[in-house]
Chain A
Amino acid sequence: MIEKLPILSLLIWLPVFGALVVLFITGEKHRFISQWISLVSAVATLLLSLWAWSTFDSSRYYLQFVEDQSWITSLNIRYSLGVDGFSLPLIALTSLMTVIVIISSWNNIKIRSAHYLAAFLMMGGLMNGVFAATDAILFYVFWEAMLVPMFLIIGIWGGPNRIYATLKFFIYTFFGSVFLLIGLIYLGLEAKSFDIFAMHSMVLPLDTQELLFFAFLIAFAVKVPMWPVHTWLPDAHVEAPTGGSVILAAIMLKMGTYGFVRFMLPIVPDASMAMADLMIILSLIAVVYIGFVALAQRDMKKLVAYSSIAHMGFVTLGLFISFALIDKGSIPTAIMGIQGALIQVISHGFISGAMFLCIGVLYDRIHSREIADYGGVVNTMPKFAMFFMLFAMANAGLPGTSGFVGEFLVIIASLQVSFWIAVLAGLTLILAAGYTLWMYKRVVFGEVANEKVAQLKDLKLREYIVLIVLAALVLAFGFYPAPLLELMQPSVEHLIDCNLVSKLSPEGMCS
């Protein structure tokens, strides 16, 4: 009976229905009810996703928990869902971060708090949909629909410059995704089906592949974001409320890399191979140049936003370095590169989310994100300082934290290709340590800077819970990343073995 449960549909629609219910329970009187309904539905979703993880057969690469129903027959669009080693961890991450955001914004939102929680629940469900969809148009529907709640979250509950930031965010991402739509329609017509996996096994000439490559690149590079289309991210992060920043950094950025893995690498491998150098260069610019930009920031949120861009540069580096490695014939290292990238995706979700939560903790108390307004926070908030230290270290890639594993794997992989790529990539360890720890020093250490800092109160229970969970995960995956690696292993191998071979002619195709 329980095996028959449409678990992926539940993961998508449970939070969405929760959100619809919460939407109508407004007003101060009912605040308590709306909070608990949100929390319960988010926790239920999380438990479902963990249950899915525990029953997932990680020895196989193919899709599991498959659901397939006709949806729009005249357009040949199906409601088909399924997860593999790439998408399941992201679904779990999404469900976890939704719970964390709901707990962390429990009483912090003063206006229309019920709508705020509803928006996050709605987004959680839709993001699960993005990761679970195996029909290209269904994927696109979730991909776009998810922008609307985020647009409202930044626009309604954001900072002073929120309108500019949220319009920029929406239009930037929409601009990217319309080209994705054109690409998907084209593929759907060629493959006679919008099934993503049917698209995987298509023969495409190189010039078509290159056009599709750029269509995908515009869409996913904006989301990742890669240099030079990253400029929406610092604005959006700075103006978004804490929860918005957490979801943006922890999940939304991951959709770009998920798009690379799900669409770009398997569908247009030859074009990706041809463009790998370009992608590696763009990634290195993101890692090095944006690292320096982060160093110069005075606003904590902006600093973490730029550090996110630099870290995501590592992800794209890991994905595309694998092409250079395949070229050289070192398949195991190529696998390692991709695994490193994917570990980095998950770990960055925890770390950047935690960093934004820490900044949120400070912001709730002092209402400033300027580094200069702080100093000596350790004197008044020692426990907070400890957590913040852990996450700062993880952000800098300290061994023993999850931040280290991914970066290490990617650097090792790139060392096989070129010494200089590895050196440039390795610079991040210095730069990240530089900007994160320097910020930490200025905010936390030293004399108590001003009156406001002197009156700070240490963490509340709610904040404790949230930070402890994330700290435990950062350490756990730092010391023992094996479960995650094992979960992804078959899918990554399949990607390398099967989909990275040339698709120019039918001989090279994988069955």
Chain B
Amino acid sequence: MNQSINFSLLTSEVFLLCAICVILIVDLFQRDKERKLTFNLTLVSLVTLFILDVNQINVLREVGFYGHWVQDQLAVILKLAIYATTFIALLYARPFINHRALMRGEYYILTLFSVLGMMIMVSANSFLIVYLGLELLSLSLYALIALQRDSKSASESAVKYFVMGGLASGFLLYGISLMYGATGSILIADVAAHFNENQSSLIGKFGLVFIVIGLAFKFGAVPFHMWLPDIYHGAPSSISAFISSVPKIAAFGMAMRLLVEAFSQLVTDWSTMILILALLSVIFGNLIAVVQTNLKRLLAYSAIAHIGYFLLGIVTATPEGNSAAMFYIIVYALMTVAGFGIVILMSTEEKEYQNISDLRGLGRFHPWYGLMFAVVMVSMAGIPPFLGFWPKLEIFRQLILNDYIVEAVIAIAFSVVGLFYYLKVIKEMFFTDATDSPEITSSRSLKVAISVNCLLLVIIGLMPDSIFEYCISAFKAIS
């Protein structure tokens, strides 16, 4: 079975690639300034992908292409989350890029290419494919940020992201080459088998360090987080919404393929490394976020803190812990995209409102959007019954179950610090006296999308099982 070239495993990827080519050509012949057709075709292809994959949600694990490719429940669920979040991010992006020099067919093409890269990352079963997927994703993102050529901050971000991303890929590649030296294979299954039979050599551990660093760069975990706030801040908001949410889901898939599947025998080595990264991220992410005055930077530092909580789930190295982490990352993506969605909502043709103080009066003059943003903030802070509470609960439960009680106490104590800055945002919106507020001129579709996104945080918050069950079953199959 392993030896076969079974294209049915690649249905969605092949479909997406064809769709991209078609959209690329169709876009060439468009005279419409708003690129309506391109936009609609992009959304349609995402929906089609979703439908294609939702039928496979209970798929059994199947390996093909000489062991380089795997299709299992984990991959399918992560792909579904990727499509859904990308869909939301594109809906948010449209009115934003309409007003700026961003409205070009490339925006959609590059987004779709990065989606393809992410699909490859989560389905990869060898180091080479992981790397290919990662690079396809990264290169599309660099270009996407640089799309706003006349913006100084966007170009700066793009270069920064490129240099940092290149560095991270370098680390990862170096780690992979060391691993290859230690085990003689780039297939994840072979590497795992090698470590099952042999004691891990020093060179293998050495390689592991570099792979973990590469992953940490991609997640933006402290101390490899420096690039993240600058890029979220500098990039156009619609792109920040995308890069802050969706790629994290894919990076989670990559982490699972590498750490859990390939290096399951090296767990004592990597779980301590991840633990340190996680605690540092929780502590510094939360502390630094307190002093931010720019909303996008605040969201960036809060993202770092969230990544810390999420990594704590992986630390336990149990299937339950991993499913908790998966739950966390999906919920995180949904919350972050909503957070940036509000930033997009408040930007007008001329101006982007990015400072926390710009929110003043939002709750008074636009109570509905004030409420929606408050829901996002409270959910991020982890107040029940909003969605953000449940993955935190599950992470803490797994930590305590695996005797990481001190770590759980530290992490939960810093969530109090986190609460402070989320409340600060709500304070600006509702409590500070204001005579006017940012105007909300955006299109109706954006307004509806944001309301739905935020209400989902409430509704799924009342029945978290609807996502969490799938996260559990994804890891049942692996263990």
Contacts and interface: CB of A to CB of B under 8 A. Distances in A.
Contacts of B396: 181-182, 185
Max chain B CB contacts within 10 Å: which of A73, A74, A174? A74
B226 interface: no
B419 interface: yes
A170 B419 CA distance: 9
A72 B401 contact: no
A151 interface: yes
Given A151-B423, A156-B430, A178-B412, A144 B383 contact: yes
Interface string A131-157: 000000100110011011001100110
Interface stretch (B149-157, B347-355, B464-472): B464-472
B400 A178 contact: no
Given A144-B383, A167-B423, A174-B419, A75 B393 contact: yes
Max chain A CB contacts within 10 Å: which of B401, B432, B465? B465
Given A144-B384, A171-B420, A186-B400, A75 B430 contact: no
B384 A171 contact: no
Secondary structure dominating the interface of B: helix
Contact of B401 (A174, A182, A189): A189
Nearest to A140: B384
A147 B465 contact: no
B394 A75 contact: yes
A189 B431 contact: no
Max chain B CB contacts within 10 Å: which of A144, A175, A178? A178
Contacts of A156: 430-431
A74 B465 contact: yes
A185 B424 CA distance: 29
Interface in A164-190: 166-167, 170-171, 174-175, 178-179, 181-182, 185-186, 188-189
Interface string B396-416: 110011000100110011011
Contacts of A72: 390, 463-465, 468
A156 B432 CA distance: 8
Contact of B412 (A74, A152, A182): A182
A162 interface: yes
A9 to B, nearest CB: 14
A75 B468 contact: yes
A137 B400 CA distance: 15
Contacts of B378: 148
B427 interface: yes
A163 interface: yes
B385 interface: yes
A174 B393 contact: no
Contact of A170 (B389, B423, B464): B423
Contact of B393 (A26, A148, A175, A181): A181
Contacts of A140: 384
Contact of B431 (A115, A144, A147, A166): A166
A200 B394 CA distance: 23
A74 B416 contact: no
Given A75-B468, A171-B423, A178-B415, A147 B383 contact: yes
Contacts of B431: 155-156, 162-163, 166
Nearest to A186: B400
A148 B401 CA distance: 30
A205 to B, nearest CB: 15
A142 to B, nearest CB: 8
B423 A185 contact: no
A122 to B, nearest CB: 12
Contacts of A137: 393
B472 A74 contact: yes
B312 to A, nearest CB: 13
Contacts of A115: 367
Contact of B383 (A26, A148, A167, A182): A148
Contacts of B394: 75
A281 to B, nearest CB: 26
Contacts of A73: 465, 469
Contact of B419 (A75, A171, A186): A171
A118 to B, nearest CB: 11
Nearest to B432: A163
Interface in A323-355: none
Nearest to B371: A23
Interface string B449-466: 000000000000001110
A462 B94 CA distance: 54
A473 B325 CA distance: 52
Contacts of B427: 155, 163, 167
A178 B411 CA distance: 10
Nearest to A162: B431
Nearest to A137: B393
Interface string B297-312: 0000000000000000
Contact of A181 (B412, B424, B469, B472): B412
Given A73-B465, A178-B415, A182-B409, A141 B430 contact: no
A185 B401 CA distance: 9
Interface string A179-223: 101100110110000000000000000000000000000000000
Contacts of A188: 397
Given A182-B412, A185-B393, A74 B468 contact: yes
A185 B400 contact: yes
A189 B393 CA distance: 12
A240 to B, nearest CB: 13
Contact of B385 (A75, A141, A152, A182): A141
A278 B125 CA distance: 60
A185 B408 CA distance: 11
A152 B430 contact: yes
Contacts of A174: 383, 416, 419
Nearest to B462: A71
Interface in B210-249: none
A412 B472 CA distance: 56
Interface of A: 26, 72-75, 115, 137, 140-141, 144-145, 147-148, 151-152, 155-156, 162-163, 166-167, 170-171, 174-175, 178-179, 181-182, 185-186, 188-189
* For the complex of A and B, 5 pairs with smallest distance between CB atoms: A141-B384, A155-B431, A178-B412, A175-B416, A185-B397
9 contacts: A72-B464, A145-B385, A148-B383, A167-B424, A167-B427, A178-B412, A182-B405, A182-B408, A189-B400
Given A148-B383, A152-B430, 13 more contacts: A72-B463, A72-B465, A72-B468, A74-B472, A141-B384, A151-B426, A155-B426, A167-B420, A171-B419, A171-B420, A182-B409, A182-B412, A185-B396
Interface of B: 367, 378, 383-385, 389-390, 393-394, 396-397, 400-401, 405, 408-409, 412-413, 415-416, 419-420, 423-424, 426-427, 430-432, 463-465, 468-469, 472
